């Protein structure tokens, strides 16, 4: 907050004025995330992939499972799964957009099958299996401007946040990850409100992710 330019300061006062009337700069409700569009299988060469548009923020995520990263042992295998995300358009809240893209890509990824033959791992063709996914973690990033908590800040709002918090919930509605950022704090009451928002908003987004990833690649 300390290094705002004149334009940012004007923007902040406009955004704050609107919030006082219960409005946001892009006409969303305070607890309303931007429309989420997920396409899966956009990079056929990857083991899993997804393109996510959260409003005008766009991320492409690819999953690669590298043979050299495999450790194959009897009754025990460890797989290395790499999720690389590329930001193709930035309109605020890369946290959630990247998170949704990686989650969608991982859910739809196919794990190749390798077997040890004479101590050498050999790829078994056409025997891919689904990734063993047990829960769908959904992150919800919220920002505080003045006394207002907004869900999924866009780039204009992002520039003048007092503080940010990202809370991730799993399919059971439990909180599984959390990080506060930004150069100011939250009160206890605000944090409780944020957890409730994350659970409620995350539930809807999880449905969108589920629908988009159903049937796999």
Partner 1 sequence: MGGREANVVLLDENGIRSDGRKVNETRKVTIKAGVLKNASGSAYIEFGGNKYHMEPFSVGERKKPAPSRREIEISKVIKEALEPAVMLEKFPRTAVDVFLEVLQADGGTRCAALDAASVALADAGIPMRDLVCACASGKAADALILDVNNEEDQAGQADMPIGYMPNLGKITLLQLDGVLTADEYKKCIELGLEGCKQVYEIQKNALREKYFSSGDKD
Residues in touch with partner 1 (CB under 8 A):
2, 165, 170, 173-188, 191-192, 195-196, 199
User: Closest CB to partner 1 among 8 and 26?
Assistant: 8
- In the structure encoding, which two tokens stand for residue 35, read together? 């429309």
What is the spatial distance between Cα 178 and Cα 166, in angstroms, rounded to a whole number?
6
What is the spatial distance between Cα 106 and Cα 41, in angstroms, rounded to a whole number?
11
User: Closest CB to partner 1 among 155 and 175?
Assistant: 175
CB of 9 to partner 1, least distance (A): 14
CB of 99 to partner 1, least distance (A): 15
User: Closest CB to partner 1 among 25 and 200?
Assistant: 200
User: Closest CB to partner 1 among 35 and 173?
Assistant: 173
In angstroms, what is the C-alpha Rg of the chain? 20
Task: Write the DSSP symbol of residue 34.
Answer: P
CB of 147 to partner 1, least distance (A): 12
What is the spatial distance between Cα 217 and Cα 213, in angstroms, rounded to a whole number?
8
Region of 16 please: left (phi>0), alpha (psi -120 to 50) or beta. alpha
Which residue carries 């809807």 as its tokens? 204
CB of 25 to partner 1, least distance (A): 24
């Amino acid at each position: 907050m300390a290094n705002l330019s004149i334009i940012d300061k004007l923007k902040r006062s406009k955004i704050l004025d609107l919030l006082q009337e219960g409005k946001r700069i892009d006409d969303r409700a305070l607890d309303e995330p931007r429309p989420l569009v997920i396409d899966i299988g956009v990079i056929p060469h990857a083991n899993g992939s997804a393109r996510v548009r959260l409003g005008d923020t766009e991320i492409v995520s690819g999953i690669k499972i590298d043979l050299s990263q495999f450790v194959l042992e009897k009754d025990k295998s460890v797989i290395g799964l790499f999720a690389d995300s590329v930001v193709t358009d930035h309109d605020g809240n890369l946290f959630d957009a990247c998170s949704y893209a990686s989650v969608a890509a991982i859910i739809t990824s196919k794990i190749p099958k390798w077997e040890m033959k004479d101590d050498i791992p050999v790829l078994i063709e056409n025997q891919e299996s689904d990734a063993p996914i047990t829960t769908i973690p959904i992150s919800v990033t919220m920002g505080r401007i003045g006394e207002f908590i907004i869900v999924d800040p866009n780039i204009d709002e992002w520039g003048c946040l007092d503080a940010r918090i990202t809370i991730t919930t799993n399919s059971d509605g439990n909180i599984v990850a959390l990080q506060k950022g930004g150069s100011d704090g939250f009160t206890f009451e605000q944090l409780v409100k944020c957890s409730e928002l994350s659970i409620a908003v995350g539930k809807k987004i999880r449905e969108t992710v589920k629908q988009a990833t159903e049937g796999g690649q």
